[in-house]
Structure 1
Amino acid sequence: MESQTASSCIQVLLEIARGTSHRASIQKTLSDICGSVERYFTPRHLAALLVEPETGDLTFSHVSGDKAELLGGKKLRKGKGVAGWVANCGEPLLVEDADSDSRFPALFLTAKTKGCKSLMAVPLKSGDTVYGVLEMIDTRSSAPFTPKHLQDFSAMAEITSLALEKAYYFQAMKRMAETDLLTGLANKRTFDRHMEREIEVCKRYGIPTSVVLLKIENLRKLNEDHGTITIDRVLQLMSTVLKDEIRKVDVACRIRSDTFAVIMPNTLKMPAIDVGHRLSAKISQQSAARQMPYFSLAQETLSAVQDDVAPVLGICDSCRNEPQGFRKFRDVGSNLFQMFSEEKQATERRQYYRKDVQLAGSFTNTETGEAGDFLVENVSLNGLGFTTLLGHRLNRNELLNVTFRLDDSRRSEISRVVRVRYMSDRYVGCQFTDQKSYDTDLGFYLMR
């Protein structure tokens, strides 16, 4: 193993961190990070395993080195071997010498580790939950792994966890932004993006495209007669039929509450009309088989050819307007300052907005022990103003423990430490010393 210093480890950590600014794919993130780790340690075997939530088994999601072809895509039973032990315990593991380590034959010996001399593994965590393991076996220089190597490996695993979480949240938000949550189909935003591309292909290469629209005509009456649960079942039935009946190249979308669309690339109008009739018949058949209330479908088919794309332009918002939605926010440089400013303004509004109230409470002076009852007259996330029921001997800048109950449905109790900022006769204006940008009970109360 090559000589490693603290600076070289920091360089690897920086390399991983820099990559998080542009990686969007979870798979690409994991592959790039493993490449950086492999260049630093030069192991004979390096693997990243992810835990399957339902079974607890581990899947070899990335493998490099001598055992790559043997292990790629394979699974490891829950609790089995080195990775299974680390996933269960949530602690890093170092075996400096497999021949002399008494734990090795009983706990860690598998077909993968047979014949190895030294190994180490570290967990990938989100909070306290282990969702993966990084492991490496032997070095190409035949030198054993040491506690210093395990320390470096653990630091890299922590950065890896953050990078993977960022990639996950990016993909999760993207999926939420592009998917209709009830049906699982693409939503209007995704429909517009696909249509924009299909129209461009049609105009440039002369490849036709068609769109089949299916609309539930009596959706409002169905809702009034049978309720939202039945409506949800109807919509989910339609989405299931569309997923099962269309081609892999077609894209099924829910573009309005009562309207579904199927984008059919390289398809002329007449074949698309036939597909629309088949889909309508299948939906009616499935609806009757499941004893759902009757609903009628209106079908419309639009088609675009090279010389005439006008028929489909009316249903594609992004072909008429500037790109909106998810794509608008992909440029960090253009949007970060704007979003920061908006968040700051929203926080300030929450902090300094004062709501006029009439709430009973009590105070205790932490310095003098003076106590009394009061009536809260206004409150915000930043502080409150109250009038004492009797006279008081409070002074500015003194600290008080105040307690009062909100007049919400839960009768939430608020107990805070405040500093006296203003006094006028029996009225006292106070500022919370433990200011929070958002207090759950008080925040929801102020929104009413």
Structure 2
Amino acid sequence: MAQRQNVLDNLQTVTSLKRKIRELSTLSEIVQAINSSLKPEEILETIMAKAADLIKAEGWSVLLLDYETRELVFKAAAGEAGKKLLGMRLKIGQGVAGWSARHGQSLIVPDVSKDPRFYSGIDAKTKFVTKSILCVPMRSKNKIIGVVEVVNKSDGEPFTNDDLDIFENLVAHVTIALENAAIYRKMEEASLIDDLTKLYNLRYCNQYLDKFLAERKSEFGIVSLIFLDIDFFKLVDDNFGHLVGSETLRRVGERLRRTVRKDDVLVRYGGDEYIVILPNTDKQTATAIAERIRKEISREPFFTFDNQKFSISVTLGVATYPEDAKTRDELIGKADKAMYDGKLSGRDKVVVA
């Protein structure tokens, strides 16, 4: 009898060791995968694809905190209701995930029907039936940035403390990876933004046009470009100083923002020159937008720091792909030349290539 018990104990030990090896192997694969990417979407997709090997569950989701609204937003999800969940929101404190986010604690709910913290509104919207939940908060620099939860273990059994240990380990790695991705994204964005005006810089302009032209080449896409320059800008620097000159450049950027459309791209080309990229816009429409910009820039006076008034005007050139140019540099060059022709013929006008 004792020998039989020893055999059973040994089998349990072997089974447990095999499971642990499988868990560590899968976790290692996940860590390698998430550390090889700096894109949050790819990191979350990796989690979704690999986690099923760790904890057999019917579905699970990643909710990230929206700091402006103080709500949890479903950013990634898998399972029967996965796609329906994306974009849905929970208030902090609402539901099991909201409770976990508010208190910063992991949580196992074996039977949601017996737990008052469970919020049934999500199930009502997705037609999914949640029975049990394992929930782990994501913490970065002592702040909760989101929550990961899995629902309904596939074998019908409740989630265990072993499951919780595995998932807490996984979520810790995921949180670090998402944090690194956020830092990288901020650095990348900073390298594409002009420090003074907060408009895009020439590097971004070139990247955007290269991508747009490559994608539209076979689809007969169209893009127009406005090149504008401040008339007699040197006089602003000479008469009022470089600080006023810099402030004027920033204010011009603000007036451009309130004049263009949502999908138009604003660029500080350099010095007192700006570019407006108008995707999917013909020359006639681009010319009308350029005229609107010209009027907006000169409509109100600018001011020095001691409240002296002065006025400026701009000259603008318009060119369109593929009508006027076949490449990015040619498009910018054609709009620049049209602007220069406007300078030679009197300034404060729109000239079309």
Both proteins in one fold, TM over 0.5: yes
Of 176, 185, 189, the residue aligned with 2:203 is 189
User: Are the structure 2 counterparts of residues 257 and 153 from structure 1 closer, same or farther at C-alpha, using a change threshold of 3 Å?
Assistant: same
Amino acid at match of 1:194: Y
Amino acid at match of 1:296: I
- Aligned partners of 1:119, 1:92: CA distance in 2, in Å? 11
Residue 302 of structure 1, CA deviation: 5.6
Residue 272 of structure 1, CA deviation: 4.4
Of 314, 319, 330, the residue aligned with 1:298 is 314
Whether contact under 8 Å (2:134, 2:150) holds in the other structure is yes
Counterpart in 2 of 1:255?
A: 269
Counterpart in 2 of 1:276?
A: 290
Amino acid at match of 2:314: A
Whether contact under 8 Å (1:203, 1:306) holds in the other structure is no
- Aligned partners of 1:97, 1:311: CA distance in 2, in Å? 64
Deviation string, structure 1 residues 48-101 (Cα, Å, up to 9, x no partner): 11112133221111222233355321111111121112112222112345567x
User: Are the structure 2 counterparts of residues 198 and 67 from structure 1 closer, same or farther at C-alpha, using a change threshold of 3 Å?
Assistant: closer
Of 156, 159, 181, the residue aligned with 1:142 is 156
Higher normalized strand content (fraction of residues): 1
- Aligned partners of 1:116, 1:270: CA distance in 2, in Å? 56
Whether contact under 8 Å (1:208, 1:306) holds in the other structure is no
Deviation string, structure 1 residues 128-166 (Cα, Å, up to 9, x no partner): 111000011211210111000000000010111112112
Counterpart in 2 of 1:76?
A: 90
Deviation string, structure 1 residues 203-260 (Cα, Å, up to 9, x no partner): 999877553222234555546638847853x445433443444456642211224221
User: Are the structure 2 counterparts of residues 295 and 9 from structure 1 closer, same or farther at C-alpha, using a change threshold of 3 Å?
Assistant: farther
Amino acid at match of 2:29: E
1:127 and 2:129 correspond: no
Amino acid at match of 1:10: L
Counterpart of 1:178 in 2: which secondary structure?
A: coil
Deviation string, structure 1 residues 92-139 (Cα, Å, up to 9, x no partner): 112345567xxx22x335444796443211111112111000011211
With the length of structure 1 as denominator, give the TM-score of the two structures: 0.58
1:108 and 2:108 correspond: no
- Aligned partners of 2:101, 2:279: CA distance in 1, in Å? 46
Counterpart in 1 of 2:50?
A: 36
Counterpart in 2 of 1:394?
A: none
User: Are the structure 2 counterparts of residues 241 and 31 from structure 1 closer, same or farther at C-alpha, using a change threshold of 3 Å?
Assistant: farther
Whether contact under 8 Å (2:107, 2:136) holds in the other structure is yes
Of 325, 329, 332, the residue aligned with 1:312 is 332
User: Are the structure 2 counterparts of residues 123 and 187 from structure 1 closer, same or farther at C-alpha, using a change threshold of 3 Å?
Assistant: same
Q: Which has the higher contact order (CA 8 A, sep 6+)?
A: 2
Amino acid at match of 1:15: E
Amino acid at match of 2:72: L
Of 305-314 and 15-24, the range deviating more from structure 2: 305-314
Counterpart of 2:52 in 1: which secondary structure?
A: helix
Deviation string, structure 1 residues 362-420 (Cα, Å, up to 9, x no partner): xxxxxxxxxxxxxxxxxxxxxxxxxxxxxxxxxxxxxxxxxxxxxxxxxxxxxxxxxxx
**Which stretches in structure 1 are left out of the alignment for 5+ residues?**
317-448
Amino acid at match of 1:225: F
Counterpart in 2 of 1:242?
A: 256
- Aligned partners of 2:327, 2:168: CA distance in 1, in Å? 61
- Aligned partners of 1:308, 1:292: CA distance in 2, in Å? 41
- Aligned partners of 1:77, 1:281: CA distance in 2, in Å? 46
Counterpart of 2:227 in 1: which secondary structure?
A: strand
Alignment of 1:42-441 (within 5 A): 42-98=56-112, 104-105=115-116, 107-112=117-122, 116-196=130-210, 210-219=224-233, 222=236, 225=240, 228=243, 231-232=246-247, 234-247=248-261, 250-264=264-278, 272-285=286-299, 293-301=309-317, 303=319, 304-306=324-326, 310=330, 312-313=332-333
Whether contact under 8 Å (2:302, 2:311) holds in the other structure is no
Counterpart of 2:67 in 1: which secondary structure?
A: coil
Counterpart of 1:254 in 2: which secondary structure?
A: strand
Whether contact under 8 Å (2:193, 2:201) holds in the other structure is yes
Percent identical pairs in the alignment equals 24
Amino acid at match of 1:128: N
User: Are the structure 2 counterparts of residues 13 and 293 from structure 1 closer, same or farther at C-alpha, using a change threshold of 3 Å?
Assistant: farther
Deviation string, structure 1 residues 149-196 (Cα, Å, up to 9, x no partner): 000000010111112112212221111111224433211111222344
- Aligned partners of 2:243, 2:77: CA distance in 1, in Å? 48
Whether contact under 8 Å (2:112, 2:118) holds in the other structure is no
Root mean square deviation, CA, Å: 3.9
The structure with the largest alpha-carbon Rg is 1
